[in-house]
Amino acid sequence: MTSTRKVMLVAGESSGDTHAAKLVRALREVSTESDLEFFGAAGPEMRKAGVEAVVESDGLSIVGLAEIGRALPMFVSAYRSLKQAAVTRKPDVAILIDFPEFNLKFARAMKRLGITVVYYISPQLWAWRKYRLSSVKKNIDLMLTILPFEKEWYRKNGFEKVEYVGSPLAREVHITREKAVFCRDNTLDPERPIIALLPGSREKEIAPIWPVMLDAVPAIKKRMPDIQFVIALNSDKALSLVESTLGPVPADGLPKIVLNQTYDAVNAADAAAVASGTATLETGILGTPLVVVYKTSRINYSLFEPMIDVPHYGLVNLIAGTRVAKELIQAEFTAAALSDELIRLLEPNVNSNMRAELKIAADSLGHGGASKRAAEAILRLIEKP
């Protein structure tokens, strides 16, 4: 006879929403002892997967200190609503997905209520704010990590309740069209070199990064007249921001903008400039040589930079354990430096060597099944006698 288990999930960003929705489907698939009821802070993908939204998390993803300050009443309201739901409905487990600024505080509240807490997609304590490890030790019953080095990092720092489930990206980053088809559909010549530009996904990322990328375009074009550029974006807001800076598109179609075709664009490219974040890892999985770039406001950088405690910014380099891709960060990120590195990446030997290094890094992420392994670990925790 099956019992009903109540599962609370809290995700606050679009990537977390996607991963949480896949986890919900996996939990339903592997659960044999329990009927599962899901509720919490849910974005559109989670809602499609059947998670009841106590809070709709679509608007919770905010970047920048000033923006977070202005949105503080919204976060307080979401926190209170979720906590009250936990008090009233008494979930068997609270699964917190990424979103550390909110979720580490919420974990403490759940622990005080006696609720089992699972954290899926570890906060990047190994990168910065290591002091938060004490909160993890006190309030997290199980940490599920998706990067291969994280489990050992936690154990070295005295936290044993960790399982590495593999990266959800390992089998989920794939193309829908081969290079020739993508080029045909987007009026690009597959016989000429292509550079992909990925300036980020949020407006606050794109605003400082995109102008530098745009300034590099004519410099590269001058040195390599046959070059083609494709700008890969994944939201209408990003598209509007980029289009507003381009002016009239030149007669030869330079540069070409594509929306929601990022994997195909990166796969078709011979080299890419990629804003630091998950996209660097996705580019590495696809095997396209890249340069990692990042720029933010001076005040944000001056506050965050002293807290960073890793040798690399780019996730792809952290996975590889070495500086596979060059990183141009803040003051080093100039149009001249970007132009030089992208042209260097087009050299045949450099290009082929980096592709080989990226393959090794990608293979270390496993070969799929992360959501299922995470679901199995959670069910072992809550269904044990």
* Residues 375, 352 within the same domain: no
Helix (H) or strand (E) holding 72: helix 72-89
Q: Report whether pLDDT(368) > 60.
A: yes
Which pLDDT does position 63 carry in this prediction? 46
Residue with tokens 């890892």: 281
| Of 152-156, 211-215, 225-229, 296-300, minimum mean pLDDT range | 296-300
Q: Across 130-134, 243-247, 290-294, 295-299, which has the greatest mean pLDDT?
A: 290-294
* Residues 220, 356 within the same domain: yes
Give yes or no for a contact between 164 and 151, defined as CB atoms under 8 angstroms apart.
yes
* Residues 189, 318 within the same domain: yes
User: CA 132 to CA 164: how far, in whole Å?
Assistant: 20
User: CA 101 to CA 61: how far, in whole Å?
Assistant: 11
Where do the DSSP E strands lie in 267-326?
A: 271-275, 290-294
Give the burial class of 19: count Cβ atoms within 10 A of its Cβ; 0-12 exposed, 13-18 middle, 19 or more buried: buried
Which pLDDT does position 303 carry in this prediction? 57
Name the 3-class secondary structure at 267: helix
* 217 within a domain of the structure (yes/no): yes
- Give the residue from 383, 384, 370 showing the smallest Cα distance to 97: 370
Summarised one tens digit per residue, pLDDT across range 92-147 is: 999 999 988 899 999 999 999 999 999 999 988 887 677 889 999 999 999 999 98
The CATH number given to whatever domain includes residue 102 is 3.40.50.2000
User: CA 167 to CA 160: how far, in whole Å?
Assistant: 20
User: CA 259 to CA 270: how far, in whole Å?
Assistant: 19
* Residues 203, 276 within the same domain: yes
Structure tokens that stand for 119 in this block? 């954290």
* Residues 301, 377 within the same domain: no
Mean pLDDT of the chain: 89
45 φ, ψ to 5°? Answer: -70, -40
- Give the residue from 123, 248, 256 showing the smallest Cα distance to 187: 256
* Residues 245, 375 within the same domain: no
Summarised one tens digit per residue, pLDDT across range 144-200 is: 999 888 998 899 999 999 999 988 887 788 899 999 999 999 999 999 999 999 999
What are the residues facing 145 on neighbouring strands?
164
| Of 40-49, 99-108, 247-256, minimum mean pLDDT range | 247-256
Average pLDDT over residues 81-89: 97
Q: Report whether pLDDT(3) > 90.
A: no
* Residues 239, 375 within the same domain: no
Give yes or no for a contact between 127 and 309, defined as CB atoms under 8 angstroms apart.
yes
* Residues 347, 223 within the same domain: yes
How confident is residue 248, by pLDDT bands cut at 50, 70 and 90? Answer: low
Give yes or no for a contact between 283 and 267, defined as CB atoms under 8 angstroms apart.
no
* Residues 156, 212 within the same domain: no
**DSSP one-letter string for 107-153:** HHHHHHTT-EEEEES---TTTB-GGGHHHHHHH-SEEEE-STTHHHH
- Cα-Cα end-to-end distance for the chain: 15
- 375: containing domain: 3-168+368-383
- Give the residue from 179, 194, 191, 187 showing the smallest Cα distance to 252: 187
163 φ, ψ to 5°? Answer: -130, 135
How confident is residue 321, by pLDDT bands cut at 50, 70 and 90? Answer: confident
Average pLDDT over residues 283-306: 81
* 174 within a domain of the structure (yes/no): no
Q: Report whether pLDDT(253) > 60.
A: no
